[in-house]
Structure 1
Amino acid sequence: MQNTCFELPVNDQQLSISFTSPKSTVQPFPLIIFTHGFAGNKIGEHRLFIKASRFFASQGFATLRFDFSGCGESSGDYGEVTLSKQLIELKEIIQYAQTLEEIDQKRIILLGHSLGGAISALVAADFPFIQEVILWSAVSDPYEELLSITGKDAQEIAYLNGEYDFNGFILSKQFFQDLKHHNPLKKMEEFKGKLIALHGDRDQDISSLNLEKYKLAFLANNEPERFCGSWIPFADHTFTNTNWEQLLIQKTHEYLLKTS
């Protein structure tokens, strides 16, 4: 496989990109775009995104991992981050992917973890050519679930002082206000492709019931065979065990083969 790192200008920021392509000379490749979660980065917890990217490349998939602005190696400050801005950035990433000659334009796949799952769900229906979305431990209610992570005091302090320091990440008043305006479950009802959802059944950060919530939202306007999903036994939110992460990646690949 071949890995290329570069920066992509999006609005007034430079987003750090890692693009991995398979060794195979048979093109075009299907592409998986990885979207990280709240205060995350393109590496992922315990290098989960890197491990997954390398595995998928070995199976003939190209992958694109990126840092949202204010995250990882991208420019910007987290104090300027809102979910609305991240939606715009993912859309720009998708539009960039459409310019890559080696990519199969009929098989661009979104994969999001945690809040990145919600972001992927919010964006997918806006691009009719996207026919597969993969959700890992996805957030279903950004406002309520992120508030459960930061604590309600975080919002109150941000409203009073304009910002809140969450483990070294500045959360603005606008960050909390903006979360209220996004409903990924509702947007998933509009998506007409195929949905793959996996969640640790011992997730203490984001309820494992979200898998069923996404399934129900998706099946409101889709046939049952378009959904694949399962819980990873005993796994936590970030699959912090080699057995859990391997099962997560393997099941994802199995479902991708099933939906191809």
Structure 2
Amino acid sequence: MPTENVSIPTSRGYQLAGSLELPVGAVRGAAVYAHCFTCTKQSRAAVEIARELAREGIATLRFDFTGLGGSGGDFGQAGFASDIEDLVESVRFLCGRYGNGLLLVGHSLGGAAVLAAAGMMSPGRIAAIATIGAPAEIPHVLGSIKGDLSAIERDGEGEVVIGGQRYNISREFLQKTAEIDLLGEVGKLHVPLLICHSPTDETVSVENAAKLFGAAKHPKSFLSLAGADHLLLDPHDADFAAGMIAQWAGRYLPMSGTVAAPAEGVVVASGEGRFGTEVRTTSHTFVADEPTNVGGNNAGPTPYDLLLSALGTCTAMTIKMYAERKNWPLDHVGVALRHERDHRNHPVAGDHFEAMDAGARIEALYRRITLSGDGLTSEHREGLLSVADKCPVHRTLTGELHIHTELASGIGDETDPQ
């Protein structure tokens, strides 16, 4: 996926470091991802989930909270209230690019932050919220801080260890972290909520998900991440969570950037990647791209892959249909294809040498067909092979083909070719 590094301005005078994961095809929505306590935007879950959401067409911003990673500010002075402010600033930044109706995704304490922040944003900014392993109470995070918290309350500041890292935190940090009534904030939400949690989460027990679910209003949903750990260190767990979130959120996102389905034929539209293109048929959508070695993102088949696929699939379908009509014992058809720009390498190319030497450009498609089935005779195989050249796509490619091109009068008119 294409990644764009961004800086998010804050009203507190410093910048938040962000990475915007962009879909290769058309953008059908946008999301802000909030990472777990003392993690950064570079944590495995943050990267995996943001990129998987992008693969599903959702441009996703992952950013570092105040004082973490590449963001400015002092983590030790910030506290949970600062995380909420960071989210408000990040949502404002992304809405400026994609408009209102964002998806908020929060992991662990980031999940609690998105739940608390949503109610402080302008109506319409947030379309839906998804949490992963979120605690039901903010003071829960204080249990993961190793240090003398009572001494910090008494002296005003002190050193602690969080997630293996040393930080100097203040009394204000502890107070701001403890004073939020999260369940009360959840009860005020008026946006769809998906709560994702693993029953085997040893850091934040699944009972927290039950409390959040009980406090929330409908529409609300629960997704079990059975077998996953709290940080989703297994990429398969992160991909599963992201894929399910994307499918669920698609019900609520504006999807204004999605290419409309044509009444007939195919429509393509360029996306955020260098070569990535969304392909839309009357009933299917997929992405075409180029390999990374030529500057693409390898997010889908290349144009020549699609050309070969058209010939191969049509060949297989035609052969199978013919065998069924003849009641021949064909069980399987395999078609392997490749494309070469220079036809000279083929044994039968001799007929074209003179034309190619004169400057003619003659390319070639090579097709190898495998037929299997108990009882297939040599006569059957010869008959089926002869049918291959009669498939409609083969006839189109080898017949006289005209391509008529015109410039559409306006944006979006490409959906109705005449």
| TM-score, normalised relative to structure 2 | 0.56
Alignment partner, residue 386 of structure 2: none
Counterpart residue type for residue 108 of structure 2: S
Alignment partner, residue 239 of structure 1: 232
Q: Which runs of 5+ in 2 are unaligned?
A: 254-418
Alignment partner, residue 15 of structure 1: 16
Give the drift of 1:259.
Answer: 4.8
C-alpha contact (below 8 Å) 1:201/1:236 kept by paired residues: no
Distance 2:137 2:67 in 1: 22
Alignment partner, residue 207 of structure 2: 209
Distance 1:170 1:38 in 2: 15
Alignment: residue pair count: 246
C-alpha contact (below 8 Å) 1:200/1:234 kept by paired residues: yes
C-alpha contact (below 8 Å) 1:228/1:255 kept by paired residues: no
Instruction: Decide which of 112, 122, 138 is 1:118's aligned counterpart.
Output: 112
For residues 221-258 of structure 1, what are the alpha-carbon distances to aligned partners after superposition, in whole Å with 9 as ceiling and x for unaligned?
A: xx3xx112122112221122234323322322332245
Give the drift of 1:110.
Answer: 0.6
Q: Which has the larger radius of gyration?
A: 2
Distance 2:169 2:135 in 1: 18
The secondary structure found in structure 1 opposite 2:47 is helix
Distance 1:250 1:20 in 2: 15
Distance 1:2 1:54 in 2: 9
Structure 1 residue ranges (4+ consecutive) displaced by more than 4 angstroms after TM superposition? none
The secondary structure found in structure 2 opposite 1:49 is helix
Distance 2:66 2:233 in 1: 26
Give the drift of 1:131.
Answer: 2.2
Distance 1:15 1:51 in 2: 20
Q: Give yes or no for the alignment of 1:99 onto 2:93.
A: no
Distance 2:141 2:91 in 1: 25
Task: Quote the RMSD (CA, aligned, Å).
Answer: 1.8
Alignment partner, residue 86 of structure 2: 89
Distance 2:52 2:160 in 1: 36
The secondary structure found in structure 2 opposite 1:206 is coil
The secondary structure found in structure 1 opposite 2:120 is coil
C-alpha contact (below 8 Å) 2:200/2:227 kept by paired residues: yes
The secondary structure found in structure 1 opposite 2:148 is helix
Alignment partner, residue 165 of structure 1: 160
Q: Give yes or no for the alignment of 1:78 onto 2:75.
A: yes
For residues 4-29 of structure 1, what are the alpha-carbon distances to aligned partners after superposition, in whole Å with 9 as ceiling and x for unaligned?
A: 112222112211011122122x45x4
Distance 1:12 1:77 in 2: 12
Percent sequence identity over matched residues? 22
Equivalent residues in 2 for 1:189-228 (5 A)? 189-219=187-217, 223=218, 226-228=219-221
